[in-house]
Structure 1
Amino acid sequence: MATVLSVSGSPSATSRTARLLRHLDQRLVAQGHEVIPLDVRTLPPEALLHADFHHPAIVETAALFQQADGVVIGTPVYKAAYSGLLKALLDLLPQYALTGKTVLPLATGGSTAHVLAIDYALRPVLNSMGPAHITPGWFTLDKEITVGDDGALTVAPAAAEALAQVTDQFSRALGGRTLLAATG
């Protein structure tokens, strides 16, 4: 099956965006894909802020993009755009880092006023990086994502169904089989 790089552009250690991505990663693994999680916040800040293209962590991250068949990009929406942390990483990748790849853009945010951030802010940047295909993405409201005291993630039913559909469409675009029933 395909190798998927699952990238969280959230700066928060307790990010709902990252938790949601890891939840969707499980679905992709169940469909037979190898998933490599990447939380951009774990990269050295000095490398990102000083645009150190030659920093070993940036070189390694660029290699992860190169070896992936597909990339899931998740970001919280701030001021109607994707996170600055994600922007810093995308700026350090080669111009055509997504060439030949299938990409799934996802976003989370506090208001439906930001629902078009994927199409108007993120998708054009991703498209400029040469992907073979950008599948339809999904915006999830923060209030639809809850984390229990035990750390378990719960997604509101309508959002969970929509996320399952876009994840399955991404999986099909990668050539994977999809699950008939939603997984945990």
Structure 2
Amino acid sequence: MSVVLIAGSPGSVSRTSALITFIDGLLQARGIKTEVFNVNDFDGNAVFFADVSAPQIVRYREAIAKADAVILATPVYQASFSGAIKLLLDLVPERGLKGKLVLPLANGGSDNHLLVIDYALKPVLSALGASNVLGGVYVNAKQLTLEEGQAYRVGGDARARIQRALDELLEALPLVIGANERNHSGVAYA
């Protein structure tokens, strides 16, 4: 099993990156191979101009192509997902999420943006071929506390909801992997 995690916040110390770091730790503790991509790790010009020959972008696209699941997190800006996550999603080839299990996360300043995953992010994921999109998790900024100015800590309620979402992902993952193997072997669905 292989999972790609994508953090779409341009902030150097961000709530979004804290969510991805927290999830990465949970997955690694279960022995799952992960690869994390943060928008800040890319050359801005390469991403902005979609230079698919840039080494970072080649590695990113290859990781997504090989992954069984993709987990992405975005801050909410202007009642939608960040432009940074959109730039990273624009680098994914057409139908590049087909056959992948996708778990979207968003974090924002208030619960008024709770539906951003369903109404803004999921249509973009569907356009990339994702048909196995889990419900997602929205985390209010109040559930992420800054510790000593270094990093955010994910609070109790958010931790529990993320854990439930990961349990759902890990439960569904063998089914998705099995379906992909059947499709690649030429065996049709029953």
- Asked whether the two chains share a fold, i.e. TM above 0.5, the reply is yes
Q: Distance in 2 between matches of 1:67 and 1:16?
A: 27
Give the residue type in structure 2 aligned to 1:7: I
Aligned position for 2:88:
89
Task: Give the equivalent residue in structure 2 for 1:173.
Answer: 172
Aligned length: 175
Matches within 5 A, 1:154-165: 154-165=153-164
Runs of 5+ in structure 2 lacking a partner? 176-190
CA deviation string 1:17-66 (max 9, x = no partner)? 11111111111122221111110221110011222232222222111110
Change (3 A) 1:132 1:120: closer
Q: CA deviation at 1:72?
A: 0.3
CA contact (8 A) 1:23 1:153 kept: no
- Partner AA of 2:126 in structure 1: N
Structure 1 position 75 matched with structure 2 position 74: yes
Q: What RMSD over aligned residues (CA atoms) do the two structures have, in Å?
A: 1.7
Q: Distance in 1 between matches of 2:31 and 2:129?
A: 25
CA distance in 1, matches of 2:50, 2:28: 33
Cα distance change, pair 175–31 in 1 and its aligned pair in 2 (3 A): farther
State, as a whole percentage, how many aligned pairs show the same letter.
Answer: 38
Q: For residue 3 of structure 1, what is the aligned residue in structure 2?
A: 2
Say which SS state the counterpart of residue 4 (structure 1) adopts.
Answer: strand
Runs of at least 4 residues off by over 3 Å? 150-154
In terms of mean alpha carbon deviation, does 47-56 or 74-83 score higher? Answer: 47-56
Quick check: 1:108 aligned with 2:107? Answer: yes
Aligned to 1:35: 34
Counterpart check, 1:131 vs 2:130: yes
- Alpha-carbon deviation of 1:156? 2.7
Q: Which has the larger radius of gyration?
A: 2
3-state secondary structure, aligned to 2:6: strand
Give the structure, 1 or 2, with the largest relative contact order (CA under 8 Å, sep 6 or more): 1
* Higher mean displacement: 51-60 or 64-73: 51-60
Unaligned runs of 5+ in 1: 177-184
CA contact (8 A) 1:28 1:171 kept: no
